[in-house]
């Protein structure tokens, strides 16, 4: 992203406005107050779109993906000297 928009802080503000609108609608405050909160929420998304385009809006609305687990490479060790001298490998029974 090439914008200077702090994404974590903007996500927090967006979530706060959505929570306030939901709490206000549940508490029975006036419809215009809930509307103003929802319009403010929409304005945050529009501002992100104007600033950074669709990529920033997607990044703002979607949580970051989970980090992929790191596959550790196992080192292959040389066979034990006792196995080499007997001519057997660990997989072969006696």
Q: Which region holds residue 86: left if phi is over 0, alpha if psi is between -120 and 50, else beta?
A: alpha
- Estimate to the nearest angstrom the gap between the alpha carbon of 78 and the chain centroid: 42
Q: For residue range 56-90, what is the model confidence (pLDDT) as tens digits?
A: 888 888 856 566 676 766 666 666 566 566 555 56
Mean pLDDT (the chain) is 80
Residue 22 CB coordination number (10 Å): 13
Any idea which residue has 């060790």 for tokens? 77
Q: In angstroms, rounded to a whole number, what is the distance separating the alpha carbons of residues 32 and 41?
A: 14
Entry pTM? 0.58
pLDDT for position 26:
93
């Amino acid at each position: 992203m090439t914008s200077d928009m702090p994404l974590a802080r903007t996500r927090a503000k967006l979530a706060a406005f959505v929570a306030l609108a939901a709490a206000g609608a549940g508490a029975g405050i006036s419809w215009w107050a809930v509307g103003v909160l929802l319009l403010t929420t929409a304005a945050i998304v529009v501002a992100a779109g104007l600033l950074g385009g669709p990529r920033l809006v997607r990044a703002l609305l979607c949580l970051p993906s989970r980090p992929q687990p790191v596959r550790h490479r196992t080192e292959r060790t040389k066979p034990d000297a006792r196995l080499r001298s007997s001519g057997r490998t660990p997989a072969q029974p006696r």
